[in-house]
Amino acid sequence: MGSSDVVIRRATPLDHDTLASLIAAAYATLDDERYDREALVAAMPLMSRPNPLLLACGTYFVAELDGEPAACGGWTREEPGTGKVKEGVAHIRHFAADPRFARRGAASALLRHCLSQAHAAQIERMMSQSTLPAEPFYAFAGFRRLKIVEAKMGEGVVLPVVLMERAIP
């Protein structure tokens, strides 16, 4: 099945419960030997729940396959964690794919949608803080690794993530 079968719609706060299940299932797959297990378990409650600000921001989306939510994700001008805004730069936010729909192109269709929207909004550079296992997903979409950074995931919890970027021509 190709990504042309993916239907993309804007998320709203009413999607909270549906996306809570989807994101929790997606992030449960992050069990990766490169992560410190204790830190991953501690980060999970914050990392694996929908962000109400993103659900209401207008640039967070749901990708549906076979009429069901298969993936979610979006972009904002604010930098994750700091809220800082830099002219011409945007950030990919909280991408997740339901494992039942993994590798069917839902998340990459969503990512292309975000890049095209950001382009229309005069964004020239898209950044992403990728989980370690998701790096090939972003690389597939043309992002390149800048460096590993420590992302704060609640009080006293940090996880390594890959800071990535791509130009939006």
Ligand X SMILES: CC(C)(COP(=O)(O)OP(=O)(O)OC[C@H]1O[C@@H](n2cnc3c(N)ncnc32)[C@H](O)[C@@H]1OP(=O)(O)O)[C@@H](O)C(=O)NCCC(=O)NCCS
C-alpha neighbours within 13 Å on the C-beta side of residue 123:
25
- Where does 51-154 have alpha helices with state H? 52-55, 106-120, 135-140
Q: In this complex, which beta carbon is closest to ligand X, that of residue 19 or of residue 123?
A: 19
By CB under 6 A, which span of 22-30, 78-86, 116-124, 148-156 interacts with ligand X? 22-30
**Binding track over 57-86 against ligand X, x by CB under 6 A:** --------------x---------------
Q: In this complex, which beta carbon is closest to ligand X, that of residue 27 or of residue 61?
A: 27
**Residue 136 interacts with ligand X (CB under 6 A): yes or no:** yes
Site for ligand X in 112-131 (CB under 6 A): 130-131
**Residue 100 interacts with ligand X (CB under 6 A): yes or no:** no
Instruction: Name the helix (H) or strand (E) containing 145.
Output: strand 144-152
- Least gap, CB of 130 to ligand X (angstroms): 4
What is the size of the binding site for ligand X (CB under 6 A)?
Answer: 22
Rounded distance between C-alpha atoms, residue 155 and residue 143, angstroms: 30
Cα distance from N-terminal residue to C-terminal residue, the chain: 28
Q: Which two tokens stand for residue 44?
A: 């999970």
CB contact burial 11-39 (16+ within 10 A = b; e otherwise): beeebeeebeebbbebbeebeeeebeeee
Query: Residue 69 corresponds to which amino acid?
Result: P
Q: In this complex, which beta carbon is closest to ligand X, that of residue 133 or of residue 160?
A: 133
Among 134, 157, 164, 168, binds ligand X (CB under 6 A): 134
Give residues in contact with ligand X (CB under 6 A).
26-27, 29-30, 71, 95-97, 102-108, 130-131, 133-134, 136-137, 140
